[in-house]
Amino acid sequence: MSSSKLVWIDLDNLVLMEDNPNEMTPEEFQQLIEEMAIQGPEKTMPIEVCYSYDGRYFVGDGYHRVKAAEKLGWKRLRAVLYTELTPEDMKILSFKRNRTRGTLNPIKEGLLFIR
């Protein structure tokens, strides 16, 4: 995989993937919030990002962690920054990861690659 580094990124500088195909029930999302509250930002699994075309960071993996962090009032998260990947590359990475560990919405899954 591409060159990467672990960084802290402000939530305001993140671009989330439209129509994230990975879905969580409200109960699963609440459980994620509770787990993250216990772990704190320092021990929460890092999200995965690359540089966005607008100078911010495109989130390829971690959509729900970002949303949970916002609900918890956190200002930033740890992230693995892939310095040589594009947002399109990150969509493919997200697709592969979500196929193995998430519940995919087939319509949103298809939309992922036509945008």
Tell me what pLDDT residue 39 has. 97
| Spatial distance between the Cα atoms of 1 and 92, rounded to a whole number of angstroms | 12
Which phi-psi region, left, alpha or beta, contains residue 55 (left: φ > 0; alpha: ψ -120 to 50)?
left
115 in helix, strand or coil? coil
Domains of the chain with bracketed CATH = 4-108 (3.90.1530.10)
What residue type is assigned to position 32 of the chain?
A: L
pLDDT digits (tens, 9 = 90+) for 41-77: 999 999 999 999 999 999 999 999 999 999 999 999 9
Q: Residue 18 pLDDT more than 80?
A: no
Higher pLDDT, 14 or 95: 14
Query: How many C-beta neighbours within 10 Å does residue 102 have?
Result: 16
pLDDT at residue 91, rounded to an integer: 86
DSSP state of 13: G
Cβ neighbours, 10 Å, residue 56: 15
Predicted TM-score (pTM) of the model is 0.82
